[in-house]
């Protein structure tokens, strides 16, 4: 018998289905947090600066909150709202994956 496994993803959207955060935006925020640079985050993700910046601005617009702050001295960093969003998404993802794994095993494990 073929061994099966489950892959799942979560997206947070607003009431109009506008993307707030998912796997890609989580990675963007993590890279901004780790590098202090949108440009470096874009390079790591093999995306253009404009694409990464557009995703950040889109999320900020639909969340109605600033999630990154940039200045010449300090570079780019996550705001409190950005850190909170990232942490909540990580927690959600972890709990969803645990629940998904349990449900998957209950359904697909032969007894």
From first to last of its 111 residues, the chain has per-residue pLDDT tens of: 788 888 889 999 999 999 999 999 999 999 999 999 999 999 999 999 999 999 999 999 999 999 999 988 888 999 999 999 999 999 999 999 999 999 999 998 866
Domain count, the chain: 1
Residue 44 lies in a domain: yes
Instruction: Answer yes or no: is 49 within a domain.
Output: yes
pLDDT value of position 111:
60
109 found inside a domain? no
Residue 94 belongs to a domain: yes
- Range of the structural domain that residue 41 is part of: 19-104
CB atoms within 10 A of CB 41: 25
* Residue 79, domain CATH: 1.10.10.10
Residue 45 lies in a domain: yes
Specify if 14 maps to a domain: no
Whether 76 maps to a domain, the answer reads yes
Tokens of 11: 């997206």
Distance separating alpha carbons of residues 62 and 108, to the nearest angstrom? 38
């Amino acid at each position: 018998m073929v061994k099966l496994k489950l892959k799942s993803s979560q997206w947070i959207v607003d009431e109009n289905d506008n993307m707030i955060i998912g796997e890609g935006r989580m990675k963007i925020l993590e890279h901004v947090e780790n590098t202090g640079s949108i440009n470096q985050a874009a390079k790591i993700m093999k995306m253009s600066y404009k694409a990464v910046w557009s995703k950040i601005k889109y999320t900020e617009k639909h969340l109605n909150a600033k999630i990154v702050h940039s200045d010449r001295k300090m570079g780019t960093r996550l705001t409190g709202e950005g850190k909170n969003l990232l942490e909540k998404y990580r927690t959600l993802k972890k709990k969803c994956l645990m629940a998904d794994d349990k449900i998957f095993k209950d359904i697909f494990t032969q007894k």
